[in-house]
Amino acid sequence: MIKKIGVGLLGLGTVGEEVFKLIKGNHLFSNEKLEIEFEIYAIYVKDINKKRNVDVSGIHITSNYEEVVNNPDIHVCIECMGGAGADKTVEIIDAAIRKGKHIIMSSKKCLAYNMNHIIDMANYYNVQLRFEATVGGAIPICRTLMSMSSENKINRMYGVINATTNYVLSLMEKYNIDFDEALNIAKEKGITENDSSEDIDGWDAAYKMKILAGIGMKADINLDEISPVSVSSLVNLKNDNIRIKQIFYVEKSSDNKIMFYVGPAELEKNNVMYNVRENYNIVFVDSSYSGIRAYYGKGAGGKETASAMYEDLLDIYKQCYWFELTDVTTCEKIDINEISNRFEDGE
């Protein structure tokens, strides 16, 4: 017996179109209990007249999101609203959750600013929530954290988590030039957007750190306290033994105190992170039972992100998962001059 699962897409940009193609091409899914057929019934877009690169004939396209979230045949909404702004996105997610739709997210800024609220809503309205695509694309890091037993306590997480900035820093090292010159080259190549300030100033990494700390440490970090350090105007060290990376670092002590850092750090050539270059990301997880482990992959890309969202979709129908956040007692920033001491050689 095939059970039909109606899907609503929220957004049809680069990522949305890749998700659309994946679901269209792979709509049948079987597991132990069910055979499932996924079908996209409706798509919310900002501009219904914009030309799309996928064939949406037969599917209801609308710029009124209520026509998606109120549709009783839609079970799960997939949010790909990257450019829409956090407020508009959370308004729509909120409405979808109230209508009992499961939610798959990709907009990290929206999730970071509203994580507590979205988790509370999902738990209250008894819907499943997934957001692998908000952090490190297809690694998959969120699912790994979700699969850890509660006894396996995470003490620290750190790594390189913004592809744009890492790409520019790699150009800086490769050509032995300063950051601003490398940024110009990247812009000319069309690899970075004209306004990459959220990437370069560390906000993108801060959002992702908050999301990871929320899953892995159940910690509700206040974004206003993070104050990331920008990498703009960094001067090239002209030293082959050291590379500068934009890193995030978050540590939780047994009494629920959080220490964190987002910004540049010097990494020695024996450090695994030294060789994480271009648009690759890496997340290290240090936990009580498993010691230090790391997860590496491309941090961005339409196909990679869509693949993560598609696996989120399958995961919702494989097992339920409930998130929770607890308050942190204190939240303290680590000094830039001290951060490099936190990484041992070879980690």
DSSP H or E stretch at residue 75: strand 74-79
Supply the minimum distance, in Å, between the C-beta of residue 194 and a second copy.
26
**Number of other CB atoms surrounding residue 75 within 10 Å:** 21
DSSP assignment of 166-218, as one string?
A: HHHHHHHHHHT--HHHHHHHHHHTTSS-S--HHHHTTHHHHHHHHHHHHHHS-
Q: Which is nearer to a second copy, 50 or 174 (CB)?
A: 174
Output b/e per residue, 261-280; b: 16+ Cβ within 10 A: bbbbbbbeeebbbbebbebb
Supply the minimum distance, in Å, between the C-beta of residue 310 and a second copy.
6
Supply the minimum distance, in Å, between the C-beta of residue 227 and a second copy.
30
Interacting residues with a second copy (CB under 8 A): 22, 25-26, 31-33, 137-140, 143-144, 147-152, 269-272, 274-278, 280, 289-298, 301, 303-304, 306-308, 310-311, 314-315, 318-320, 322, 346
Supply the minimum distance, in Å, between the C-beta of residue 308 and a second copy.
8
Q: Which is nearer to a second copy, 189 or 293 (CB)?
A: 293
d(CA 310, CA 37): 13
Q: Which is nearer to a second copy, 266 or 315 (CB)?
A: 315
Q: Which is nearer to a second copy, 257 or 303 (CB)?
A: 303
Q: For tokens 């830039």, name the residue.
A: 336
Helix and strand counts by DSSP (H, E) for the chain: 10, 13
Supply the minimum distance, in Å, between the C-beta of residue 61 and a second copy.
25
d(CA 181, CA 189): 13
Supply the minimum distance, in Å, between the C-beta of residue 17 and a second copy.
14
Q: Which is nearer to a second copy, 58 or 291 (CB)?
A: 291
For the chain, percent helix, then strand, then coil, each to nearest 5?
35, 25, 40
Q: Which is nearer to a second copy, 223 or 292 (CB)?
A: 292
Q: Which is nearer to a second copy, 38 or 248 (CB)?
A: 38
Supply the minimum distance, in Å, between the C-beta of residue 54 and a second copy.
17
Which residues does 53 contact at the CB level (< 8 Å), separation at least 6?
Answer: 17
Which residues does 221 contact at the CB level (< 8 Å), separation at least 6?
Answer: 209, 210, 213, 214, 250, 258, 260, 328, 331
If DSSP codes are grouped into helix, strand and coil, which group holds residue 163?
helix
DSSP state of 252: E
Supply the minimum distance, in Å, between the C-beta of residue 69 and a second copy.
24
Q: Which is nearer to a second copy, 47 or 344 (CB)?
A: 344
d(CA 167, CA 304): 17
